[in-house]
Amino acid sequence: MLRLPVIAFLLCSSCTQAQLIDRNATPQTVALYNNLKKLSEKHILFGHQHATEYGHGWSGDEDRSDVKSVTGSHPAVVGVDFLGLSGRPQNEMDWVFNNLRETITSTYNRGGVVTVAWHFNNPASEGGFYWKDSVSKAAVPLLIPGGSHHEVYKEILKKVARLAHSVKGNDSTLAPMIFRPYHEFDGDWFWWGRSHSSIADFKSLWRFTVSYLRDSLQVHNFIYAFSPDCLFNSEEEFLERYPGDEWVDMVGMDDYADFGRDGKYNVEAGVRKLKIVSDFAKKRKKLAAFTETGLESIPNTSWWTDVLLRAVKTEGLQLSYVLVWRNDEHSATHYYAPFPGHISVPDFMKFYNDPFTLFEKDLPNMYR
């Protein structure tokens, strides 16, 4: 079955533009924001973490992704990670910088969308980005203004800004990115998690991060996304650590637990939480997204249509994209998108061919 283009027109020539929190955002960033908003009324973009950097059994191949090998199109949204920009030897950080720049600009040149996670190694202790008892320090209060590691944090943000200023496409414009720092902050598994920082300190860290990047370092190609895990059951709980409308462009959530992790399904609960996110976004004129989900190894052969598609097509939801996690290049079981020969390919093709889902080949010019 051939997939026909579902969008072939400029979306935002006459639509009312939403206001990004960065009043000096680049025209391409503003266009991306508004096009995502308009598309979310009738569609959802499909995303995959590290889609073009590596996949199941391969790494570093040009213009390859497991999704493209199955469908003929890259995912509409490609996830990258700023993990390697700090806390490593300089030569490793240089390699990460160059690889990120290549991945981001290639995606932009093809017309795709980039979203950035930040598995941020603890700058105040050993332990990496996870919380490790007796090893990790509660670093959030140390990074905010007045904290012992505030200047260290500013140097790390300068590296982020340097990358943001370097990602110029073939047309010499900067590639916009959806920047999603401190994700899943309502859990305890990361050092910035709920049990390791106060509400006030977390909000202060978020606000400083945005203001320093935007106002001091002149980064104007970020869309800032606030995305807890799924440990909330009301808007009040969802907003416990929300820094305020003037500091957030997009709201989302990560949810594996309700969508089949460890064989446990509670899709109704997952949809209810997505509705909290979507309704809040509509009310505050923000973007909404399903920022992470997936089923490891995808043993459920109808997961794509019976679980994920059914959930995101729920009446009233308005989500700009859904992203599934990565396909590890070495692991035989750690993957979240199908590859040629996988048992879920037939169902994934139904998901792909549904007019509601958009892949890279379906996108209009997102940047004008």
Mean pLDDT of 67-91: 98
Which of 152, 159, 143 minimizes the C-alpha distance to 84?
159
DSSP letter string, 12-67: -SSSPPP--S-TT--HHHHHHHHHHHHHTTT-EEEEEETTTTEETTEES-TT--HH
Q: Note every long-range contact of 131-138, with CB atoms under 8 Å and residues 24 or more positions apart, other chains counting.
A: 131/188, 131/189, 131/190, 131/191, 131/193, 131/196, 136/191, 136/196, 137/191, 138/191, 138/196, 138/197
d(C-alpha 9, C-alpha 356), whole Å:
16
Confidence at residue 8, expressed as pLDDT on a 0 to 100 scale: 44
Task: Tell me the domain boundaries of the chain.
Answer: 31-362
Handedness of CA 264, 352, 176, 238 (dihedral sign): negative
Confidence of residue 196 (pLDDT cuts 50, 70, 90): very high
Provide the b/e sequence for 18-57 (b: ≥16 CB within 10 Å): eebbbeebbebbbbbbbbbbbbbeebbbbbbbbbbbbbbe
Confidence at residue 9, expressed as pLDDT on a 0 to 100 scale: 43
Confidence at residue 12, expressed as pLDDT on a 0 to 100 scale: 44
Question: How confident is the model over 273-309, as pLDDT tens digits?
Answer: 999 999 999 999 999 999 999 999 999 999 999 999 9
Mean pLDDT of 204-220: 98
Question: How confident is the model over 129-181, as pLDDT tens digits?
Answer: 999 999 999 999 999 999 999 999 999 999 999 999 999 999 999 999 999 99
Which of 108, 130, 141 minimizes the C-alpha distance to 184?
130
CB of 121 closer than 8 Å to CB of 87: yes
What pTM, to 2 d.p., does this model score?
0.95
Task: Flag whether pLDDT at 82 surpasses 90.
Answer: yes
d(C-alpha 54, C-alpha 334), whole Å:
13
Task: Flag whether pLDDT at 114 surpasses 50.
Answer: yes
Mean pLDDT of 19-42: 97
Mean pLDDT of 169-197: 98
Cβ partners under 8 Å of residue 153, min gap 6: 123, 143, 147
Confidence at residue 19, expressed as pLDDT on a 0 to 100 scale: 87
Check whether domain 31-362 has CATH 3.20.20.80, yes or no: yes
To the nearest whole number, what is the mean pLDDT of the chain? 95
Question: How confident is the model over 299-357, as pLDDT tens digits?
Answer: 999 999 999 999 999 999 999 999 999 999 999 999 999 999 999 999 999 999 999 99
Confidence of residue 3 (pLDDT cuts 50, 70, 90): low
Cβ partners under 8 Å of residue 150, min gap 6: 142, 143, 144
CB of 89 closer than 8 Å to CB of 70: no
